[in-house]
Structure 1
């Protein structure tokens, strides 16, 4: 009978099931090693990557059949299935002056008979909270209507039922200053300061920009949402149609001037398929690394089972069983455990995903969408789990096929047949993988992972060579270490997977540690000063005058008497809405993003002589005289043209910008670092029709150098007043990553010590005859502890050292890429220049020291501590 015949496989599986039930602890360990990664992968596929819909541009339709918008004068437009519209010239459509939106009656008349519509609008508004002003997206729609079902979930309070009521998003409520917009708070929205009371909290589905507030229809006037916009759906209608909306209906409505957003599902292009395929391709190296780790982790456990069943294999062999029979019986363990663990892991992941979805939604503050099982991905992950089980059992199965029945049944040690082999393939893979890793620096992280995987495969092939070299180096070491090294070489089939598993885990930890530590170092390089050294700044451009009075009093309470408190303001409309200024960087009147502007003013500050002295860093009578004459003081004289400076203004809410401000100016260069671009007096602002609102309070270090303790007390007091103000003491700060390194250290301890302990227990079992011989010749009881400690030290040290050396290259390659944000150079005149930030490479020496020194020693101490010191006596066996 062929061992691969159906009945032979069934018999092997029955034998494997019987042995699995007999060794419950080992079976549970193997099931956990294979099943937990499968459960984690399935959980990630079903929970973490679930998105609520695919449309990221238009209003969420919920249970509606369509969402439409339009204006008189749009007749004859065309659109695609997603609702992207254009006119006959191919330009986007938006309402022009005089092109009013359709009314509810007009929209209803254009739809199929029996259709029902409700208004829906959204826009960006500035609103006043008890802690200051905020700006956010407001959606106005009746959430009680069935058409809104699926776009939100009420988590607290109730839904709005009348104009002037709203619900706040859970994402907004998760912020530190959540009480500012909590249920029960009344907000004043827009320029007209219409009162809106928050009556509940809701999670909103992810579809474009999630709203901060959802108000009941009529809370805000329709024209407050701006002109009709086909892309933003700023003023639209949700449609409940008695019959499906067809593509012919869409074309007919287009001819009348209506845009239908995501109406005909069967006409939607499958534009997500390439991205999904791309995501799967990018995930291949990570899945392969996980598969390799599972194989290396479970391999020693299967080897333990093979060793314990050696007498069973010997009995099968003496009864006529061929090596193929023995190999089939042993590899049936991998098949059985792989199938059972994969099934249990997939089931656990599928059960955990819907249970964890509410928690994930609560943390994110948004709905993740309906629970959907990607069965193809789940099947692929489960299949990989089965393959991992088979691969993990492959080496023990080969060893089982070489069982010497005479040696096993007579109680003698089997003659080992493992050889180090020729390191040609491993060397080629290591060289090729390392070269590819170096070449991947600065490119997509998936290329780095792929090249690191090639290097890992080569190192796994070279582990027997490393073991042989270790044994030669240990020739002059004490007996326990010498015995451990030679025992590792003699039993390469058991030791090599354990060392490779430790090495693979350490490679991943070192790579992540180097990349993460380098990101923190790069962040410290990108951190720029926002004020002179020692200056104390309290910034809050969205605070009301009443809040500023309370903040000002709190700051003065902590400062010594007589210390001046400089006040900086920014331009605002007559109603008090702040205006952001765009000041030219140079004579070409080009503008750069002002990322160093702590006050949020755009570089234009309104203030008096004390503010001018602060930004100039010196006393300048000429600049003071110009300020008194009503001329702006420009810190970069090059931008003054024909004695004037041109300043563009923009409102914070995206409304229509006021005309540029052109003023006669005087240029004065600052001493050292400048902290503004232009300083104007309040009289100049008022003369040109603008108000000035406080945006910053400053304590000049030339007047008083604020101690850290004083700054801490001021920050605590300000935090109790409002969460929308920032207190900053300008001192050199180095961002830390202690928590990140601690997490990596804990993961390293769990993985390295866990894998080492399994391999050490197996080594102790196999070394029992040698220990018996030592006892017979008079070895002291402590020898056994020393031998076990040496075995643990060899496995952990060799795996950790090889892993650290192999993990540095991918870690550096992952970190060797431009920073996500450019470095900011602030010149002496207050202007900023952004330049690409050079990669910063930082090695986490503490983590490497733990891996190379701490954990191997801890593994050795653990092996000695949990081993009985009493040596076994030789046993006589009947012959």
Structure 2
């Protein structure tokens, strides 16, 4: 039997004998593999290719055609489609083409059935609707009948997400009720809320939508395939086309074009190194525990003729067996979790296709996990080959000597990483900062033995339990360094991510700006006549009884062309274009949220009231009057700076007299009110009945919230820091067994023995957290610049999330210490030589 097979058998038996340690190693190696494999599988499963979605799109038909509004310029190509409407209106009653004309365009032998997509307006909501006859063979496979039957005239089928059953009634707004006779399921969209029937009162969409999704049309059974050669003529007739032949003709080519994206390649390499480094440092102490327990067994093998290479092979076999088992289990679980997660997420929204596994990246991640297991066992394997056989058999602890050159190498790497970070901070891509952070972490890992030795010097001033813990940690640096470096790497990564994410959130919050206070309802009308505007204003007053309305005015020139008055300012480093409002004292009071006598007097005297300090220069405001149909003009008007209602609010208000002095006319076409419409408000649809040229907008303020994933990083750090610390503490407890037995023999209470073990946990996690705080802060501050700057001269936003940082740097070491303090540490009877 070869030495490798013997080593694998020994590794398998040892892994089964120490099941707890083996499970810990497998979790640390397999967890990254499981997560990454699950994400890859989930993404692949939730992406439905055009060929996979062909049945749901076309059923058994050869093509689907959608009629676009009159005046639409449509052009489809294999790489996409473009359309532009210059007067089309979905409120037009019927398509321009009839079924007979469409059939003639497709050639003899064509059969068409209606197939229109739109929306059904219910009492409180709009739901997607499909108007077609599911009993026709052309629709076979589009929707699967799960309950009841397919609908006939004045009947509908619904998807399960609507929560209706056969026999229920569906009541469209202003229409006769429809009877639900069936429940149908979409092949790839389980969360779809849709009503299907052969004659539905479809409501027009709010504006022009994509013809690939909405619009009246037909399914076609043709005598010959509809190819890309037929598309231009159909587009000219106003038909958007989807056909089997078009999708089949445009298949991705087998040749893969490799494009070298340097920043992303560097970032990917940095992340791979970080994952391998973190896993190796975390699993290293656990492998060291195994080496400590097997030291005598290995010494006996060496005494019987085993070479240093044999001992290395035996320990590396541990990494191969545990890494291979962890990778295999994690890959299988990751694939299963990805497929299951895709089906669950699709019920919340989105789509799910047939289970798909991207094998090249998944196998690459599996190989990386196996390599990680071998690398994690490499240092213990080298230590096993170098151990003194006589000393181990005599029960003496081996002496550990530091390599004098490592501190210099580590210091050089740290300095090089700091220099690279300074340079990378100026780059627009944050990947360079991450690459520099990897260099800093590798340098700190090389420096860690020196740091451990230096921090052990003040141990004489500590109380007895902590003094014993620190001195033992310094004496056994081979196991201490790996654990401290693992905690350091975790802390540095989490702190850097926390600072970068919080800085980006604060920058987004600071960058938010509005021209109106929070809670403002704005109603604008386009080019309409006075009669229509009066009806719109009356309808608004009727729908909002008792709500004060402030008027705004539209600006026109002598020829009746609409103009917009604008100015540009820099807000939080971003060039922001503001549109000026024109109004009176009522609108000024709404924009300021109070009565400001000075601002009111300035507006009454013919001055602009401005809320952006940087826009006013020498008492003047520079404006640009622009129009889509007229020449642009530049204006400079007297201005006064005032305070708005909200701190993030900008903009300006001009009196009508000042605008008219510049040669323009004004006409009331805007209404403002401090009013928040309820969620089920139909105000927009009701006003659109008066004129479709109305726009209703509500200012909700800054609604974004801090990224909850930040605290998910804290949970991950909790598992890694506490798990790695307890593994190292367990090894320390095994190495300190003679000292603890001696302390117990001379009368040390159990609490003192527990404090010695907890002191090891506090030292390992505390030192790692402090060093990681420094490294993470440097990287986080550097990350904040590419993540928050928007151009030259824009200062970076640096926001440290103090509660998060304190929880990581202080809370996790305390938690690891408490966990070690309550961990049971039994002491077996020791044999003494007299």
TM-score normalised per structure 1: 0.69
- Does residue 385 of the first structure (1) align with residue 369 of the second (2)? yes
Give the corresponding residue for 2:502. 517
Bigger drift between 850-859 and 782-791 goes to 850-859
Q: Pick the aligned partner of 1:413 from 397, 418, 434.
A: 397
Distance (Å, rounded) in 2 between the aligned partners of 1:432 and 1:248? 60
Q: 1:356 is matched with which residue?
A: 341
Change in Cα spacing, 1:237 to 1:288, as seen in structure 2 (3 Å) is: farther
Pick aligned residue for 1:696 from 644, 666, 673? 673
Moved more, 848-857 or 791-800: 848-857
Secondary structure in 1 matching 2:428: coil
Q: Deviations over 1:185-220 (max 9, x none)?
A: 6357xxxxx8998978987979xxx99977767657
Are the structure 2 counterparts of residues 228 and 112 from structure 1 closer, same or farther at C-alpha, using a change threshold of 3 Å?
farther
Does residue 289 of the first structure (1) align with residue 274 of the second (2)? yes
Contact between 1:163 and 1:215, CA under 8 Å: does it hold in 2?
A: no
Question: Aligned equivalents of 2:519 and 2:789: distance in 1?
Answer: 27
Residue 585 of structure 1 aligns to a residue whose secondary structure is: strand
The answer as to 2:751 corresponding to 1:754 is: no
Q: What does 1:71-110 correspond to in 2, within 5 Å?
A: 80-82=77-79, 84=81, 103-110=98-105
1:40 corresponds to: 35
Find the counterpart in structure 2 of residue 28 from structure 1: 23
Residue number among 316, 320, 327 corresponding to 2:305 in the alignment: 320
Q: 1:352: how far off?
A: 1.5
Distance 1:244 1:313, change over 3 A: farther
Q: In 1, distance between residues paired with 2:751 and 2:46?
A: 60
The answer to whether the 8 A contact 2:553-2:666 is kept is no
1:501-558 deviation digits (Å, cap 9, x = unpaired): 11111111101211122123224423447667xxx846375999999868757xxxxx
User: 3-state SS of the aligned residue for 1:584?
Assistant: strand
Match of 2:250 among 267, 273, 288: 267
- Residue 721 of structure 1: how far off its partner (Å): 7.6
Name the stretch that deviates more: 466-475 or 152-161.
152-161
SS of the residue 1:583 aligns to: strand
User: Conserved in 2, the CA contact under 8 Å of 1:165 and 1:196?
Assistant: no
Hey, what's the Cα distance between the residues in 2 that align with 1:72 and 1:128?
21
C-alpha RMSD of matched pairs (Å): 5.7
- Offset at residue 755 of structure 1 (A): 1.6
Distance verdict in 2 for CA 1:741–1:356, change over 3 Å: closer
| CA-CA distance at 1:45 after TM superposition | 0.1
Q: CA deviation at 1:876?
A: 2.5
Q: Per-residue displacement from partner, 1:220-254 (whole Å, max 9, x unpaired)?
A: 78999999998888665544557765566668978
Shift of 1:65: 4.5
1:428 pairs with 395, 404, 412, which one?
A: 412
Which residue in the other structure is 1:439 paired with? 423
> Which residue in the other structure is 1:844 paired with?
801
Matches of 2:434 and 2:208 in 1, distance apart?
49
Deviation at 1:384, TM superposition (A): 0.9
Deviations 1:826-872 (Å, cap 9, x if unpaired)? xxxxxxxxx9964310112333333333433443344333355x877
Structure 2 CA distance for partners of 1:566 and 1:547, relative to 1, 3 Å: closer
Q: 1:141 to 1:780 in 2, by over 3 A?
A: same
Cα deviation 1:75-99 (Å, max 9, x = unaligned):
xx996434548xxxxxx787999xx
Q: Which residues of structure 2 form unaligned runs of 5+? A: 89-94, 525-535, 555-561, 569-573, 617-623, 645-650, 658-664, 685-695
CA change 1:312–1:727 in 2 (3 A) is same
The counterpart of 1:375, out of the listed 355, 359, 376, is: 359
Give the one of 482, 489, 503 matched to 1:504: 489
Q: 1:585 aligns with which of 563, 566, 571?
A: 566
Give the aligned partner of residue 855 of structure 1: 812
Question: For residues 763 and 94 of structure 1, what CA distance do their matches in structure 2 show?
Answer: 75
Q: 1:65 to 1:202 in 2, by over 3 A?
A: same
Q: Does 1:876 align with 2:832?
A: yes
How many residues are treated as equivalent by the alignment?
Answer: 751
What is the CA-CA distance between 1:341 and the residue it aligns to? 0.8
Aligned to 2:469: 484
> 1:78/1:583 Cα in 2 relative to 1: closer, same or farther (>3 Å)?
closer
Separation (CA, whole Å) in 1 of partners of 2:341 and 2:453: 48
Q: Deviations over 1:670-697 (max 9, x none)?
A: 772477747889xxxxxx9999796523
1:165–1:216 CA contact under 8 A, matched in 2: yes
SS at structure 2 position matched to 1:373? coil
Q: Does 1:399 align with 2:383?
A: yes
Mapped partners of 2:351, 2:142: distance in 1: 8
Structure 1 residues 7 and 438: alpha-carbon distance in aligned structure 2, compared to 1, 3 A threshold: same
Q: Secondary structure at the match of 2:674?
A: strand
Q: CA deviation at 1:811?
A: 1.4
- State the Cα deviation string for residues 267-312 of structure 1 (Å, max 9, x = none): 3455996699867775443333222211111111111111111121
